[in-house]
Amino acid sequence: MKIEYYHASKYGNGAKVAEEFKRLMAAKGIEVAVHHVRESNPKALPTADLYLFSSPGRIGKPIGRARRFLKKLNLPAGTKYALLTTEGAPQPDKKTGRMPTEEEQAKWQRIRPVMNEILQGKGLVKLAEGRILVTGMKGPLEEGWEKKVEEFVGGIPILP
């Protein structure tokens, strides 16, 4: 099995997650090639059994470079994909100290829904999605993020 992993890491958090994913997959005997979207041609991607896409968020959406990459993708309908994004951790309201509910977070953090909309609009088939939280603007990643990557790996249905 071969996996092509494309990330749009700006501060290195997504790259760190990609390398952990690659390490976990290597332990299963699965080859993963990790690429930054700025160094890849979306119209000429190598053949793979699964494509994994990752983007940090900016104002609740995937960053522009990642959106443009996904919109230009040239993959056949039915191609399998997964998403593993790095998203800002919810912060308490500055006035009340109240943490936002899941519904409130979903209203403002639309990174994965936007990516899914683009990819499914091209006929691609989603196998899994996950998110790793980033505690500050530039990081660090949330505590226990490695375990979340491991759980994500275990949740991909086509993996041994």
2-154: CATH topology is: Rossmann fold (3.40.50)
For the purposes of burial, counting CB atoms within 10 Å of the CB of 126, is it exposed (0-12), middle (13-18) or buried (19 or more)?
middle
**What does the block give as tokens for 67?**
């959106």
Q: How far apart are alpha carbons 135 and 92 in whole angstroms?
A: 12
Q: How far is CA 117 from each of CA 6, 56, 126, 160, rounded to the nearest angstrom?
A: 17, 16, 11, 28
Q: 124-157, pLDDT tens digit by residue?
A: 999 999 999 999 888 899 999 999 999 999 999 9
Residue 158 has pLDDT above 60, yes or no: yes
**Number of residues that this document lists for the chain:** 160
Provide the pLDDT for residue 105.
78
Query: What does pTM read for this prediction?
Result: 0.92
For the purposes of burial, counting CB atoms within 10 Å of the CB of 64, is it exposed (0-12), middle (13-18) or buried (19 or more)?
exposed
The SS3 of residue 5 is strand
Q: How far apart are alpha carbons 32 and 108 in whole angstroms?
A: 32
| Predicted confidence band of residue 60 (pLDDT cuts 50, 70, 90) | confident
- E-strand ranges in 37-151 read 50-54, 57-58, 61-62, 80-88, 125-134
Q: 85-111, pLDDT tens digit by residue?
A: 999 888 888 899 998 888 887 777 899
